[in-house]
Structure 1
Amino acid sequence: MQEQELPSTGLAQPPHILVVDDDPALRELLEGYLGENELRVSAVASGRAMFDVFDSEAIDLVVLDLRLPGEDGMQLARQLRERAPVPIVLLTGKIEEADRVMGLEWGADDYVTKPFSPRELLARIRAVLRRYRVQAQAPAREDQRRAYRFAGWELNLRTRRLTAPDGRKVELSNHEFSLLVALCGSPQRVLSRDQLLELSRLHSAEVYDRTIDVQILRLRRKIEVNPSEPALILTERGAGYLFAAPVESLY
């Protein structure tokens, strides 16, 4: 059954949920149900696979089973929390009250007791995501940011990977990456060439402002549907450039 959607953020990219559980039937069920309700889902069976995905993708929330065979789910939750302030929802058994309490004390955001209905898990995921969206409005250090999302695109700051709305990986030069980071960091704001040179640190390699024009042209060819009529990176004559898309930051 299709649930009511999350409030629109104006962004084409839905939240990415990572499910960690050793039960293949449960993973398949959650992939299907959450996917039908406007969430992207990756599902893995172990802690090692969890960290592999987490280090390569921009994950919005992790659903973690505390009872993985041969692994300490509590330790996995703590290690995950040490890597980034990503939301965590624990899956626990009926009699594991001590684990639930300890998990919440160590930084998990919520828990669901097995057996559970997918609808309940969906509601808890949405509630946690809403809380984190509110927190994301507060100022944060630049080095805490993990990724940017805009117009269906995803720029992973850790892996320096740009993913297109259709899932393609788009290669960026160092200059293109630095410039796109600068634009995403100041969306819907006109930036002069001097400001872009400073923010992208291109001045360390090239010292004239027309370098920005060249890099903008190359970047448009990679992210615009029609580079000759750009919709994302707009030229403000006599002033500079404006990144027109709403941008979501992941911390």
Structure 2
Amino acid sequence: MSRIFLKATLGVLLRVLFRPRVEGAERIPQDGPVILAGNHVTFIDSMFLTLVVKRPVYFIGKSEYVTGKGIKGRLMAWFFGAVGMVPVDRDGGHGGVAALMTGRRLLEEGKAFGIYPEGTRSPDGRLYRGRTGIARLTLMTGAPVVPFAMLGTDKVQPGGRGMPRIAPVTVRIGEPLDFSRYEGMDRDRYVLRAVTDEVMSEVMRLSGQEYVDVYATKARSRQAA
């Protein structure tokens, strides 16, 4: 119910202000498990993807987003739940495993699971090397991967901070990718890298971003240093 309410209120506001376009929405299966994998340039990417995709999309998010105290904490918990965020404690040593298993559970329940293979927002607008968690998910569950690209959200919220600005947004969705030929090979690191790189190649083609064969977290650390 909260998801419907949010689309009927905030969704209308976003449509009026930003007039987001979606290209290729018909390529997303109407039911059954599917992995939506795309670039990540700013905090509001998930909001626009949820807005233009008809079926509910679920994402992994930090548990701290929904554990705040007081009225603000409850509002944040409601908001993130309404946009499809599933909280996972990712700060511990097993955070990556917990996120992977949560994604697997959602897919086995037949849901649409959104993931940003870069693992974090791009520090400079370029597309960075994908992490192999997405490959593990598609090989473990058999779910197809539908690549997508967010275009213009970096103009709406430059640097991922501050109040959003009015700018056109396009969500470009590619053809589903089937990796069933690698069934049973979810522990082969060469296969995992090949699958991940194929997904990132499609995201790059859709987004037109320059590709950097380095993890975004490493690039961010270099910038900070």
Interval of TM-score (by shorter of Structure 1 and Structure 2): 0.3 to 0.5
Q: Counting helix residues as a fraction of each chain, which structure ranks higher?
A: 2
Normalised TM-score (structure 2) = 0.33
Larger radius of gyration: 1
Higher relative contact order (CA 8 A, sep 6+): 2
